Amino acid sequence: MTTTAAPSGSDTSSAAKPVFWYGIPHGYAKLDLDPPRERIVELVRELNTLPAEQRAQASQVLQFYAGMVTTFNAQNVHMCAVGYHPDDDGTIATSTLTISTVPTSGHNAKLVIAGLAGTAVDGRDTGMRPLELPCGLGYLAEERKRTVAPGRSPDSPEGPLRGEVWQGTVAVTGSGTPDIIVVQLVTPALHLADVYRDILLGVARTLTFTDPTKSAPTPEEPRAGAAEAAMRNDFG
């Protein structure tokens, strides 16, 4: 498990003071959502040295990455990680994990979450259910939907590729932030929805507003909160 900190939604700069922490499970590689300009220039330079056919494919990937970074930054996405896990049939199952914050525009974030959780029905068939997490009250929503998949330019004569994905979303808030924290996991491996739901819930249980990297408390200090214990239990 990797423990990562995130600033509040109102200040996403690297110098901002973290207000919540979370764990990233094994098998996930984080994407750089704030790549330095020098790295982009170097990638373009390397791309231009490739043969024509490879250059066209690499250019499409680079454009997709640039567009994704731009979109994520506009949506207050603090972390994006891509998961690669072996499937039972010998192939690789992929997934995308994101953690973002949603400002509540002056509303009380706890009341917003409580209201949404209160309207949810406790049952998977409804696609939404209330959720008790170590850091507070939240809800779990899940759905299957068709979406555009990477691999072909939207401007091609055949049009963009489309595929069905499973999408799970956990929303929660706490005393450390006025925003709603959204943890989302998307995968095209529909047959593994139960597995990825467990991964999503495991990540959500690691959310904490207490810095888990602080030294162990002395007898005069309060004991570690339940979220820190959950972080250790879920991912080791």
3-state helix/strand/coil string of the chain: CEEEEEECCCCCCCCCCEEEEEEECCCEEECCCCCCHHHHHHHHHHHHCCCHHHHHHHHHHHHHHHHHHHHHHHCCEEEEEEEEEECCCCCEEEEEEEEEEECCCCCCHHHHHHHHHHHCCCCHHHCEEEEEECCEEEEEEEEEEEEEECCCCCCCCCCCEEEEEEEEEEEEEECCEEEEEEEEEEECCHHHHHHHHHHHHHHHHHCECCCCCCCCCCCCCCCCCHHHHHHHHHHC
All residue ranges of the chain with pLDDT < 70 are 1-5, 7-18, 105-109, 111-112, 114-126, 148-161, 175-176, 215-236
Q: Tokens standing for 105?
A: 């525009």
How far, CA to CA in Å, does 217 sit from each of 1, 2, 149, 160, 213? 22, 22, 48, 54, 11
What is the residue extent of each domain of the chain?
2-235
How far, CA to CA in Å, does 121 sit from each of 63, 99, 117, 140, 173? 41, 24, 8, 11, 20
pLDDT for 97 equals 95
Residues in CB range of 82: below 8 A, 6 or more apart: 28, 29, 31, 94, 95, 96, 97
Q: What is the pLDDT of residues 149-181, one digit of tens each?
A: 655 555 666 666 677 899 999 998 876 677 889
pLDDT for 60 equals 73
- Calculate what percentage of the chain has a pLDDT beyond 90: 25
pLDDT for 89 equals 83
Cα 182 to Cα 103: distance, rounded to the nearest angstrom:
11
pLDDT for 24 equals 92
What global pTM score does this model have?
0.72
Q: Tokens standing for 86?
A: 């072996």
pLDDT for 161 equals 65
